[in-house]
Amino acid sequence: MIKVLLHGCSGRMGKVISSTALNFNTLKIVAGIDRFKTNELDYPVFTSLEECTVDYDVLLDFSSAAALKSLLDFSKKTKKPIVICSTGFTQEDLNLIDETSNLIPLFRSGNMSVGINLINNLLRKITPFLYNNYDIEIVEKHHNQKLDSPSGTAVLLADTIKESISEETKFVHGREGIAKREHKEIGIHAVRGGGIVGDHEVIFAGTGEVIELTHKAISREVFAVGALKACEYMGNISEAGLYNMDDVLNLKF
């Protein structure tokens, strides 16, 4: 049984993860960390990592980018795997993640959905064939409480597309003014409103046809399942390194 320490347990996703974990017979959430304590959960909750006295196997974070340094410092002390599901990291944050992965097993993904990661792998295959004759645009939609824009998923998809193209390309975030689109542009557009869980669309717009890859998250449970699968995987990893959903789903083909 893999013992999971959940950071951000009182948040929206934390509560979904806690309920979804009951369907997993390979792991158990043994404690939670959150500055907002709650009595709704069936495990002890501490207000900080330093206060935690419960032994664990994997630290699962679904809080915010602001907590990154404390999470990495704590994990380096315990020398145990960490699964990072937060988004909105700066380049400095990403550099710190890379450096820390040389010391401990570290998992990070821009999206925990199985479907999104399958689409991401598909983009690696089709983008080199389509780029010359198609313009590429990404549209993402989320609820009005989401802090980072564009979403971590949109960044994940955009980076994959860019890395799949041998020619020089550039990201364009939204459009305004009077100017023709350059072919080398990869457009990224963010919509925020209501309670949208998370919609992502990659558009390949050609002269005579349009190809669209669309993913709509109907429930936050899809992210919880992916996060817990990552915990299952990382619970059996002892070698330092940077891991992602490709490793979890064995999608490295």
Annotated binding residues for (S)-2,3,4,5-tetrahydrodipicolinate: 143, 152-153
3, 28, 146, 184: which one is catalytic?
146
> What is the DSSP-derived secondary structure letter of residue 206?
-
189 is an active site residue: no
Dist CA 21 CA 27 (whole Å):
7
Q: Any bridge partners for residue 191, and if so which?
A: 141
Dist CA 117 CA 139 (whole Å):
17
21-51 core/surface letters (b: 16 or more CB in 10 A; e: else): beebeebebbbbbbeeeeeebebebbeebee
Dist CA 107 CA 229 (whole Å):
12
Residues in contact with 202: Cβ distance below 8 Å, sequence separation at least 6, in sequence order: 119, 123, 136, 137, 138, 157, 161, 212, 213, 214
Torsion from C-alpha of 227, 230, 231, 236, nearest 10 degrees: 180
Contact 113, 230 (CB under 8 A): no
> What is the DSSP-derived secondary structure letter of residue 150?
S
Structure tokens at 202: 């990659």
142, 200, 215, 229: which one is catalytic?
142
**Which residue ranges are tagged as binding site for NAD(+)?**
8-13, 85-87, 109-112
215 is an active site residue: no
Category of 194 on φ-ψ map: left (φ > 0), alpha (ψ -120 to 50) or beta: left
Name the residues annotated as catalytic: 142, 146
